[in-house]
Structure formats: structure tokens, C-alpha cells
Amino acid sequence: MPNTIHDGAKNNSPPCASWRLEDQSVLLELSGDWHRGGPDVTTIGNSSGRSADRYDVQKLGAFDSMLPAFLLAHLRAHPLPSGTTPSFEGLPLNLCGLLKLALAVPEEIGAQITKPVSRAARLGKLSLKAWKSTLDVIEFVGQCSMSMGRLICGRARFRKQDLWLSVQECGIEALPIVTLISFLIGMILAFVGNAQLTNFGANLLVADLVAIAMVREMGVVMTAIIMSGRTGAAFAAHIGSMNANEEIDALRTSGFNPFDYLVLPRLLALVIMMPMLTIYSNVVGILGGMMVGSMVGIPTVLFWNETLLSVNLTNASLGVIKSVFFGAAIAVSGCMQGMRAGRSSAAVGQATTHAIVAAITWVVVLDSAFAAIFTLLNI
């Protein structure tokens, strides 16, 4: 009887699995030729939710991996109580050995066929994930607040060199890219404003447009976006690499608080430098608009005087106030993703990407909130 594994055999009869109940035991009769790519398996009867107690292979022909896969799927779908083993009575010896070997290894979760998930289930998972992320943010902000409180009380321990190094990275080293972007933004605002205001003979108001747009919105927002992609990502990559190399665990073991030692200097540095970078960005953007104004026939002196008339202390301070909150949001996003990163190089890359996205998202959300507040206050 050709009941051995044979991949190349020709299919002579379709495979069939027939379940019968005999003497309170479940009998599975296997017949036909079982080959990949052959006819579908015909199932007769049902197993009543039990695995087979005995097997009848008198009519079984040639088979390949299709038969053990069928039997293995049934055995795993109907597991026996702990401490008991399935019965292989009646099966060929080679098939028994193959099944025992397969059952000895736990099934990988990724190898299982995933069942389709309903929209309600997906929405529930997204809601739970969003809620967990919200709780993580609240917890991290609370830890940062406690670290700031320890600093005020003089009990926070960190190296001053780390603070000054972070100030240098967040401030002086960011000046070239901030200069370029702010200058170009000021030029773009001036070009667009001049193209529209010239139709009304009011091209001098280009100075008002550039100045107010820069000091209220564009200067601080563009600076925050630049720092999100530059500094926030650097924070996440640096701390994430330390987490992957178990350096943060070493700090805890040595008695250092990771928030005081790693997060606090970066948070302070970015909160301190963001207002300065914002003021610098405003000035550079106005200079870019002034250059365009001189190109389209607006004298530099008139442009400057109109800028001074349009910008008062209130307008000039709005962007600076927002920059403090933007800096805190960027620092928290970058450090949080770094502290929560996994212990692999791929996880560090994912943390960096998440830090950039989260920082820019928080900048836009905060800016929208400030816009609504300033509108309500008629500022």
C-alpha cells in the first residue's frame, strides 16, 4: 500500500476524510491520494469538536505534505487538556513521527492565518491606542514637571556641560538653516504681497504684510518646524541609542534619574533658545522682505519706517510667547520617543520619525489654539 510521502505521484483518486463514531471513540478514515495542487479534500461527517482517537488508512494512497498539514491543522484546532497527548493509532510510522515533531514546536503567531477584522474592532483598537498614547504623554509631562520642580529646589542632578552643549546644538548650530528659511519666507511674502497690492497702488503696505506675518506667525512657526526636524529628531535618536545600548538602565543602576540627567538639560536648552531663534527669524524675514521691496521700487527707508509703524510691542511679543510652548513641545516629543524607543537600530529610526511627526503636529495644534485665544482676546 503506497502510504508513503511521495511528491511526484499522480493523483488517482480524490482525497477524502470520513469521521465516524465507534464505541464512544472518534475514528478518522483517510482515503485517496493527497497531493498539493490536486482535488479539494472531501470531508464526510464531523469530529464533534474532538481530535481523532484512531485512524483508518486502509484506503489511503500516496500523499505529500498536504496530509500532515490537514491533520496538524485539526489537532491544533482541537487541543487536548494539559498533560495529555493526541493519539496516532493507525497512522503510518513516518507520518506519526512528522506530526509529533510538528506538535513539539509551538506555532508562531505570525504564521497563523489572520481573520478579517471588522470596522468596529479596528475603531476600538485605534481608540485604545490613542487613549494609551494620551496617558503616556500625560505621564511623561508629569515626570518632566517633577524634574523641573527638583531643579527649582536645587535637587536635580545633571552635568552643566550637557546643558551648554544642548544650548549650542539648539542655538548657534541652528542659525544657518534658520537664516536661510526665514530669509526665503520673507522674500516669498513680499513677492506675493506686492503682486496683489500693486493692483491697488498700495505696494508700500508690503512692509506691513511681511512684518506682521513674520512676528505673529511665520517666524515662530517656521522656526519650530525647523527645530522639530533638526533638534527634536536629534534628541530622539540620541536618547533612543542610549536606550538600545542599555545606558539608561546603567544610569538608573548608578542612582541617577534619567529625566534629570537626559531630559531636563535638553528641555531647558530648547525652551531658552526658541525665543531667541524666533526673534532672530523675525528680523531675518523682514530683511528678506526689505530686499524684495527695494527690487520692486520701495525705498529701504520707507520700508523700514512702515515696518516700525506696523509692529508694536503686542504683535512682537505674540510669537515670542508661543515659542516657549513650542520649544517645550518639541523637546518633550523628542525625548519621549527616545525614552520609549525599543532596543534595536530599527526602533531608534522609528522613534526618530515619530518624534518629528509628533513635534510638528503639536506645533500646529498649539498654534491653532493660540490663534483662537488671541482672536477671543481681540489681540
Confidence of residue 10 (pLDDT cuts 50, 70, 90): very low
Q: Helix crossing, 206-213 with 175-197: angle to 10°?
A: 140
| Winning range, highest mean pLDDT, from 1-10, 57-66, 218-227 | 218-227
Most confident of 47-51, 81-85, 263-267: 263-267
For 185, 214, 215, 309, the CA distances from 222, given in Å and listed in that order, are 9, 9, 11, 24
- Single-letter code of the amino acid located at 290: M
More confident residue, 71 or 275: 275
Domain residue spans in the chain?
A: 16-111, 133-376
pLDDT for residue 291: 93
How does the average pLDDT of the chain come out, rounded? 85
Residue 114: pLDDT band with limits 50, 70, 90? low
* Per-residue confidence (pLDDT) for residue 90, from 0 to 100: 82
Looking at the predicted structure, is the pLDDT value of residue 109 above 60?
no
What confidence tens digit (pLDDT) does each residue in 161-188 have? 888 888 888 888 999 999 999 999 999 9
Contact 224, 365 (CB under 8 A): no
- pLDDT more than 90, % of the chain: 29
* Average pLDDT of the residues in 357-367: 93
pLDDT in tens, 223-258: 999 999 989 999 999 998 888 888 888 888 888 888
Over residues 71-88, mean pLDDT: 75
Residue 82 binned pLDDT confidence (cut-offs 50, 70, 90): low
Residue 327 backbone dihedrals phi, psi, to 5 degrees: -60, -40
Q: Which residue has the higher pLDDT, 225 or 68?
A: 225
Query: Which pLDDT score is estimated for 183?
Result: 95
- Across residues 180-208, what is the average pLDDT? 90
pLDDT at 369: 93
Q: What is the distance between the alpha carbons of residues 173 and 167, in angstroms, rounded to a whole number?
A: 9
Backbone angles phi, psi at 19, to 5 degrees: -95, 135
**Quick one: pLDDT band at residue 84, thresholds 50, 70, 90?**
confident
**What is the structure's pLDDT at 120?**
86
The x, y and z cell numbers of residue 364, run together, are 500646529
- Eight-state DSSP code of residue 113: P
Residue 115 pLDDT greater than 70, yes or no: no
* Cβ count near 89 (within 10 Å): 13
Reply yes or no on whether the pLDDT at 220 is more than 60: yes
Torsion of CA 249, 254, 256, 258, to 10 degrees: -10
231 Cβ neighbours under 8 A, 6+ residues apart: 169, 170, 174, 270, 330, 331, 334
Q: How many CB atoms sit inside 10 A of residue 160's CB?
A: 8
- Helices vs strands, H then E, count in the chain: 14, 4
Question: DSSP character for 23?
Answer: T
Please give the pLDDT value at position 83.
63
